[in-house]
Amino acid sequence: MRQPFTFPALGTTAALVVDDVRSFETARVLLSAEIDAIDAACSRFRDDSELARVNANAGHATPVSALFAEALHVALRAARITDGLVDPTVGSAMRVIGYDRSFDELDRNGPALTVSLRRVPGWQTVEFDPVASTVRIAEGVELDFGATAKALCADRAARNIADTIGAGALVGLGGDIAVAGAPPEPGWTVLIAEDHAAGHDTADQGIVVRSGGVATSGTTVRRWLRGDRAVHHVIDPQSGQPADEHWRTVSVAAGSCVDANIASTAAIVLGPDAPAWLDARRLPARLVARDGSVARVAGWPAEVDVAC
C-alpha cells in the first residue's frame, strides 16, 4: 500500500497519493491550490469567505464566483436527492449547538444548551440567479456547506491532478476520499476507520477502490459537551438538532466522493432506516451501530475486495 503525503487542511487532514512519483510536486501544488480556493469560497469560519458574505447579506442578492456557484449547486442537489435529509440551511443550527468556529478551536466543555426543536429553513428558500451569478437567502437563514464542500474539493482536486499529470491520483480530506485517472493494480487500498487521524493500526477494514469515491460520516469524533449533554456535528434538518446516534459511523462507496458523502450523511440522519435506503440505491455501505455491530449492504465486502 502506498503511503500518502499528509498535511493539515480545512480543519482536518489532507492526504495525497499519485501513481507517478515524478509528478508528486505538481500534484501537491494543485491540491493545495484547490484547498485554498474551496476554503476562500465555502468556509463558515472565515469572515472573508464568500459563504460568510452571503450569510451576512441575507435578504439581498450577493454576487458569487463560479466555484461558489458550483458548491451551492452540489449542496442543493444533495438536499433534493435526499428529500432534505442533507440540507445546506443548517448554519444557524450548527451555531446554536456550539459549532461556531474551527473544530480545533471549539470549546469542548461549554455551558448547557437551551434546546428548541425547530426544522431548519430548508433548501427551497435559497435563490440562485445563474445569469447574474447571485445568491439570495432569506433573513434568518445561514448556509453551511460542511456536508459537501470537502468532498467536492476532493473530487475536483483528484480529477485535476489526474488530468494534469496523466496518472492516477488519490485525494483524501478527512473521511472523504476521491480517486481519478488510471488506478494502480489492483487498485487503491483505502482503510476504513472511525477516526481517520488515529493511525493505520486502528483501521477496521481495508478495501480496494478503482474509481469514484468513498466517504465516512460519524458521530463519535467531532463531538463535544454542552452542559452534561454530548452533541455532534451531523444535524437532522427536521429538528435542527444533532441526529439521533443510531450509527457510530457509516461508510459509503459511490461514483464520486460527493455522492458517497451525501449518502453517508443521509444515513446518519436516517438511523435504523439507513440500510434499506442505501440498498435501494445500490450504494455499497458499511454501517457500525452504537454497540459496535456491523451491517453491510449492497455488496460492501466482508474482507478486502473491490468496493466500487
Report pLDDT digits (tens) over 67-105.
Answer: 999 999 999 999 999 999 999 999 888 787 776 656 565
pLDDT value for 240: 85
Q: Please say if the pLDDT value at position 227 is more than 90.
A: no
pLDDT value for 302: 87
> What pTM did the predictor assign?
0.91
Give me the domains of the chain, ranges plus CATH numbers.
1-308 (3.10.520.10)
Q: Please say if the pLDDT value at position 304 is more than 60.
A: no
What percent of the chain clears pLDDT 90, i.e. is strictly above it? Answer: 71
Query: Could you tell me which residues come within 8 angstroms of residue 185 by beta carbon, excluding any fewer than 6 positions away?
Result: none
For residues 261 and 13, give the distance between their C-alpha atoms in angstroms, rounded to a whole number: 16
Report pLDDT digits (tens) over 238-287.
Answer: 988 888 999 999 999 999 999 999 999 999 999 999 999 999 999 999 99
pLDDT value for 196: 63
Query: Could you tell me which residues come within 8 angstroms of residue 195 by beta carbon, excluding any fewer than 6 positions away?
Result: 202, 220, 221
- Give the pLDDT band of residue 233 (cuts 50, 70, 90): confident
For residues 119 and 84, give the distance between their C-alpha atoms in angstroms, rounded to a whole number: 11
- CA dist 153 → 22, 51, 77, 219, 258 (Å): 23, 15, 16, 22, 9
- Give the pLDDT band of residue 222 (cuts 50, 70, 90): confident
Residue 197 phi, psi dihedral angles, 5° rounding: -90, 0
Report pLDDT digits (tens) over 44-68.
Answer: 989 999 999 999 999 999 999 999 9
More confident residue, 287 or 175: 287
Cell of 102: 474551527
pLDDT value for 305: 46
Mean pLDDT of 27-50: 97
Longest dimension (CA), the chain: 55
